[in-house]
Amino acid sequence: MVETTDVIFAVDSIPAIFAITGDPFLVFTSNVFAILGLRSLYFALAGMVTQFRYLKAALALVLLVVGVKMLLAEALKLILGKHFNLYLLIAVLAILAVGVAGSLIADRRDLHRSGR
Protein backbone atom coordinates (compact mmCIF):
# COMPACT_ATOMS: atom_id res chain seq x y z
CA MET A 1 0.00 0.00 0.00
CA VAL A 2 2.83 2.38 0.85
CA GLU A 3 4.58 1.72 -2.46
CA THR A 4 1.34 2.30 -4.39
CA THR A 5 0.83 5.59 -2.58
CA ASP A 6 4.42 6.57 -3.36
CA VAL A 7 3.93 5.93 -7.07
CA ILE A 8 0.63 7.84 -7.12
CA PHE A 9 2.29 10.74 -5.32
CA ALA A 10 5.18 10.76 -7.77
CA VAL A 11 2.93 10.70 -10.83
CA ASP A 12 0.72 13.39 -9.32
CA SER A 13 3.76 15.58 -8.60
CA ILE A 14 5.09 15.61 -12.16
CA PRO A 15 2.77 18.37 -13.47
CA ALA A 16 3.45 20.47 -10.37
CA ILE A 17 7.19 20.16 -10.85
CA PHE A 18 6.95 21.01 -14.55
CA ALA A 19 5.09 24.18 -13.50
CA ILE A 20 8.19 25.18 -11.54
CA THR A 21 10.93 23.98 -13.89
CA GLY A 22 11.20 22.57 -17.37
CA ASP A 23 14.40 20.63 -16.68
CA PRO A 24 13.59 16.90 -17.03
CA PHE A 25 16.60 15.96 -14.90
CA LEU A 26 15.25 17.94 -11.94
CA VAL A 27 11.80 16.46 -12.42
CA PHE A 28 13.12 12.91 -12.48
CA THR A 29 15.53 13.25 -9.55
CA SER A 30 13.04 15.09 -7.36
CA ASN A 31 10.48 12.34 -7.88
CA VAL A 32 13.01 9.61 -7.14
CA PHE A 33 14.10 11.32 -3.94
CA ALA A 34 10.48 11.96 -2.97
CA ILE A 35 9.62 8.27 -3.35
CA LEU A 36 12.68 7.15 -1.38
CA GLY A 37 12.21 9.80 1.27
CA LEU A 38 8.49 9.22 1.78
CA ARG A 39 8.94 5.50 2.25
CA SER A 40 11.67 6.02 4.83
CA LEU A 41 9.72 8.77 6.54
CA TYR A 42 6.61 6.60 6.75
CA PHE A 43 8.41 3.81 8.59
CA ALA A 44 10.23 6.29 10.82
CA LEU A 45 6.95 7.98 11.76
CA ALA A 46 5.20 4.63 12.26
CA GLY A 47 7.86 3.71 14.81
CA MET A 48 7.81 7.10 16.48
CA VAL A 49 4.02 7.21 16.86
CA THR A 50 4.21 4.25 19.23
CA GLN A 51 7.02 5.88 21.20
CA PHE A 52 5.51 9.39 21.52
CA ARG A 53 1.87 9.34 22.59
CA TYR A 54 0.99 12.85 21.38
CA LEU A 55 2.76 12.63 18.02
CA LYS A 56 -0.33 11.37 16.21
CA ALA A 57 -2.33 14.40 17.38
CA ALA A 58 0.56 16.70 16.44
CA LEU A 59 0.75 15.18 12.95
CA ALA A 60 -3.00 15.62 12.54
CA LEU A 61 -2.63 19.28 13.51
CA VAL A 62 0.24 19.67 11.02
CA LEU A 63 -1.97 18.24 8.27
CA LEU A 64 -4.68 20.71 9.27
CA VAL A 65 -2.22 23.62 9.07
CA VAL A 66 -1.02 22.46 5.65
CA GLY A 67 -4.60 22.11 4.41
CA VAL A 68 -5.55 25.58 5.63
CA LYS A 69 -2.39 26.96 4.02
CA MET A 70 -3.34 25.39 0.70
CA LEU A 71 -6.87 26.77 0.86
CA LEU A 72 -5.96 30.25 2.07
CA ALA A 73 -2.50 30.79 0.55
CA GLU A 74 -3.28 34.18 -0.99
CA ALA A 75 -5.02 35.50 2.12
CA LEU A 76 -2.18 34.29 4.34
CA LYS A 77 0.35 35.95 2.06
CA LEU A 78 -1.52 39.25 2.49
CA ILE A 79 -1.83 38.86 6.27
CA LEU A 80 1.63 37.49 7.09
CA GLY A 81 3.64 39.09 4.30
CA LYS A 82 5.97 37.59 1.75
CA HIS A 83 7.68 35.33 4.31
CA PHE A 84 4.46 33.54 5.26
CA ASN A 85 5.93 30.15 4.27
CA LEU A 86 8.71 30.62 6.80
CA TYR A 87 6.18 31.41 9.52
CA LEU A 88 4.17 28.32 8.64
CA LEU A 89 7.30 26.17 8.67
CA ILE A 90 8.12 27.48 12.12
CA ALA A 91 4.55 26.72 13.20
CA VAL A 92 4.82 23.15 11.89
CA LEU A 93 8.14 22.61 13.66
CA ALA A 94 6.70 24.07 16.87
CA ILE A 95 3.67 21.76 16.68
CA LEU A 96 5.91 18.73 16.26
CA ALA A 97 8.22 19.89 19.06
CA VAL A 98 5.29 20.41 21.43
CA GLY A 99 3.92 16.96 20.57
CA VAL A 100 7.24 15.25 21.26
CA ALA A 101 7.99 17.32 24.37
CA GLY A 102 4.49 16.74 25.73
CA SER A 103 4.92 13.00 25.21
CA LEU A 104 8.27 12.99 27.00
CA ILE A 105 6.89 15.04 29.90
CA ALA A 106 3.83 12.78 30.21
CA ASP A 107 5.99 9.65 30.12
CA ARG A 108 8.32 11.07 32.76
CA ARG A 109 5.33 12.04 34.92
CA ASP A 110 3.82 8.56 34.58
CA LEU A 111 7.16 6.94 35.42
CA HIS A 112 7.56 9.23 38.44
CA ARG A 113 4.03 8.43 39.69
CA SER A 114 4.45 4.70 39.29
CA GLY A 115 7.80 4.84 41.12
CA ARG A 116 6.20 6.13 44.32
Give residue 6's pLDDT.
66
Task: Give dist(CA 36, CA 44) in Å, integer.
Answer: 12
Query: Closest by alpha carbon to 103, among 43, 63, 50, 40?
Result: 50
Query: Closest by alpha carbon to 103, among 60, 48, 65, 40?
Result: 48
Give residue 1's pLDDT.
73
Q: Cα 18 vs. chain centroid, distance in angstroms?
A: 23
Give residue 116's pLDDT.
58
Return the domain boundaries, the chain: 1-51, 52-116
Task: Give dist(CA 22, CA 26) in Å, integer.
Answer: 8
Spell out the long-range contacts of 48-51 with Cβ–Cβ below 8 A and sequence spacing 24 or more. Answer: 51/103
Per-residue pLDDT of the chain (116 residues; tens, 9 = 90+): 766 776 777 677 777 777 777 788 877 787 777 777 777 777 788 888 888 999 999 999 999 998 888 888 888 889 988 888 899 999 999 999 999 999 999 999 988 888 75
